[in-house]
């Protein structure tokens, strides 16, 4: 297994360019299942989760080829509709093939994803949406078997809870269904907006993109005429590097971003007293004379993203005062707290609320990455800690951060990868 060794040193300087968004790319690759032609995707991040999803497409009978930073995906020859346990256990997002496979073939089997490090994460809302569109769902031997022998039918789907993956599955399923689907209480994340826009460009009539009510006119079984596209930049990767600048209290320019996707993150950094200069596709974060504490409540987009909570917790250890973070989306997303404590952070947990005392002197230690974003919080803490930190189980980081070491080394961080 690999681990990262970071020697603390706040002297960072320079620019970082953001890669394509993993969470946008995953549903977009799933959506190619609905395409009648080969698709060229650019700005696809080179991270493990994307490679796993491409492998899943291959296992289903589709094919892909990578040429420089572009990937060509051809799903026209898919002849298998089962996503097996082997692949689903490594990547929960495999559930995203459910909607498109069911809509195109009238049948689909997906291994039931289990719990994960950040909570129980059920898929009941995905299944309910498919049932509302006429699917019959059975759960047998750990597999979801969905059938719709006469095809899916347009329906009114009211999500009990805002779900990103559930909305994406419903949008993809509705695209080839018979009739109109109205999704109410839909998620509004930029990743969903891009998915809807790509499907709309492929000839499907969609109204309400980016709102909580999306209306989709299905093609009644006809495959979509999908066009080539480029994946939007990763707002969570951008936010992570903004926190890197903030925790070091140094100037850093972040390139290839869409500032509006980062509004909640920018606003919290401004509350912490950082000045941020925004341009059309980049921003620069400037140092401050005092890092102020902050109170954060995670919520659905456009609120503060749960995927940025751990990084802000690391940052809050360096604020001048006490901060709070209230995690409202996932029930067990504080695994990084005990690891940050091993480095000297003073964090008190009460249910889903973390209270973080600032002005902490962090010291290098051996720590364990527990999930993707928790791992990046450990990286941030290590960058400002005294001495050497070894971060173990970094396969979590590799799932979602493209070339983390390269990007951080370029701005002056002393970071190296070793094998245990
Ligand atoms: C996506 C993101 C993840 C992010 C999360 C919330 C991807 C690949 N992952 O995950 O990085 O942290 O959105 O912004 O895009 N829920 C149910 N039943 C369901 C589905 C969800 O109860 O059927 C619950 C979840 O347990 C959670 C909440 O709804 O408490 C939100 O989950 P959801 O938005 O579905 O997250 P994901 O799509 O899994």
Residues in the chain: 420
- For residue 115, pLDDT over 70 is answered with no
Tell me the two tokens of residue 136: 């019959």
pTM of this structure: 0.97
- For residue 382, pLDDT over 90 is answered with yes
In this predicted structure, what is the pLDDT of residue 332? 84
- For residue 52, pLDDT over 90 is answered with yes
Whose CA is closest to 228, among 12, 71, 378, 54? 71
- Alpha-carbon separation of residue 246 from 2, 241, 315, 363 (angstroms): 27, 9, 7, 18
Q: Which atom of ligand 1 is nearest to the CA of 119?
A: 26
Find the 385 Cα to ligand 1 centroid distance in Å: 32
User: Please, which pLDDT band fits residue 118 given cuts at 50, 70 and 90?
Assistant: low
Which residue has a Cα nearest atom 21 of ligand 1? 163
Find the 353 Cα to ligand 1 centroid distance in Å: 19
Whose CA is closest to 298, among 313, 278, 283, 317? 313
Which residue has a Cα nearest atom 17 of ligand 1? 122
Strands in 282-286's sheet, in edge-to-edge order, are 15-17, 252-255, 282-286, 275-278
Tell me the two tokens of residue 14: 């320079």
Q: Are 177 and 152 in contact (CB under 8 A)?
A: yes
Find the 45 Cα to ligand 1 centroid distance in Å: 21
Tell me the two tokens of residue 174: 């509705």
pLDDT in tens, 342-372: 999 999 999 999 999 999 999 999 999 888 9
190 lines ligand 1 (CB under 6 A): no
164 lines ligand 1 (CB under 6 A): yes
H or E stretch at 44: none
Find the 303 Cα to ligand 1 centroid distance in Å: 15
Which residue has a Cα nearest atom 22 of ligand 1? 122
Q: Which atom of ligand 1 is nearest to the CA of 330?
A: 30
Active-site amino acid positions = 116
Label the pairing between strands 107-111 and 143-147. Answer: antiparallel
pLDDT in tens, 264-318: 999 999 999 999 999 999 999 999 999 999 999 999 999 999 999 999 999 999 9
| Rounded CA separation 118/330 (Å) | 6
Give the residues across from 277 on adjacent strands.
Answer: 284
pLDDT in tens, 189-212: 999 999 999 999 999 999 999 999
User: Please, which pLDDT band fits residue 410 given cuts at 50, 70 and 90?
Assistant: very high
H or E stretch at 50: helix 48-59
Q: Which atom of ligand 1 is nearest to the CA of 373?
A: 11
pLDDT in tens, 133-181: 999 999 999 999 999 999 999 999 999 999 999 999 999 999 999 999 9
- For residue 239, pLDDT over 80 is answered with yes
Instruction: Please report the sign of the dihedral spanned by the C-alpha atoms of residue 26, residue 418, residue 393, residue 262.
Output: negative
Give the residues across from 109 on adjacent strands.
Answer: 82, 145
Q: Are 293 and 321 in contact (CB under 8 A)?
A: yes
The total of other beta-carbon atoms located within 10 Å of residue 180's CB is: 16
Q: Which atom of ligand 1 is nearest to the CA of 126?
A: 23
Find out whether the peptide bond into 269 is cis, omega within 30 degrees of 0.
no
For 120-261, strand residue ranges (E) read 136-140, 143-147, 156-158, 180-184, 205-207, 213-217, 229-230, 252-255
Close Cβ partners of 383 (under 8 Å, ≥ 6 residues apart): 6, 8, 9, 10, 12, 244, 247, 248, 408, 413
Find the 166 Cα to ligand 1 centroid distance in Å: 8
Which residue has a Cα nearest atom 15 of ligand 1? 23
């Amino acid at each position: 297994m690999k681990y990262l060794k970071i020697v603390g040193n706040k002297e960072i300087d320079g620019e970082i360019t953001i890669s394509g968004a993993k969470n946008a790319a995953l549903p977009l690759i799933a959506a190619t299942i609905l395409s009648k032609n080969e698709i060229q995707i650019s700005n696809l991040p080179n991270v493990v989760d994307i490679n796993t999803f491409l492998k899943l497409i291959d296992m289903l009978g589709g094919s892909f080829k990578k040429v420089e930073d572009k990937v060509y995906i051809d799903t026209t020859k898919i002849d298998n509709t089962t996503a097996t346990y082997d692949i689903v256990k490594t990547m929960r997002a495999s559930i995203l093939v459910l909607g498109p496979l069911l809509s195109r073939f009238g049948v689909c089997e997906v291994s039931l994803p289990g719990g994960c490090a950040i909570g129980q994460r059920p898929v009941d809302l995905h299944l309910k949406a498919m049932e509302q569109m006429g699917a019959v769902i059975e759960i047998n031997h750990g597999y979801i078997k969905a059938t719709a022998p006469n095809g899916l039918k347009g329906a009114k789907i009211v999500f009990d809870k805002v779900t990103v993956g559930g909305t994406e599955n419903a949008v993809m399923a509705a695209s080839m269904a018979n009739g109109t689907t109205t999704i109410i209480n839909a998620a509004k994340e930029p990743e969903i907006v891009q998915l809807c826009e790509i499907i709309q460009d492929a000839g499907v009539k969609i109204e309400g993109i980016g709102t909580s009510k999306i209306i989709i006119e299905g093609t009644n079984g006809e495959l979509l005429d999908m066009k080539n596209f480029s994946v939007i930049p990763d707002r969570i990767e951008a936010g992570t590097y903004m926190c890197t600048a903030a925790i070091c209290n140094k100037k850093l320019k972040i390139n290839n971003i869409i500032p509006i996707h980062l509004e909640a993150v920018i606003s919290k950094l401004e509350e912490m007293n950082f000045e941020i200069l925004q341009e059309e596709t980049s921003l620069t974060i400037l140092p401050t004379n005092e890092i102020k504490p902050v109170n954060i409540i995670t919520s659905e987009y456009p609120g503060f993203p749960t995927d940025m909570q751990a990084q802000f917790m690391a940052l809050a250890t360096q604020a001048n005062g006490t901060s709070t973070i209230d995690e409202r989306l996932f029930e067990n997303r504080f695994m990084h707290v005990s690891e940050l404590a091993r480095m000297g952070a003073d964090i008190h947990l009460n249910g889903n609320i973390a209270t973080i005392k600032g002005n902490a002197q962090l010291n290098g230690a051996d720590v364990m990455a527990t999930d993707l974003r928790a791992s990046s919080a450990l990286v941030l803490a290590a960058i400002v800690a005294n001495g050497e930190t070894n971060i173990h189980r970094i396969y979590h980081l590799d799932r979602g951060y493209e070339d983390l070491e390269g990007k951080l080394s370029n701005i002056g961080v002393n970071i190296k990868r070793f094998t245990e």
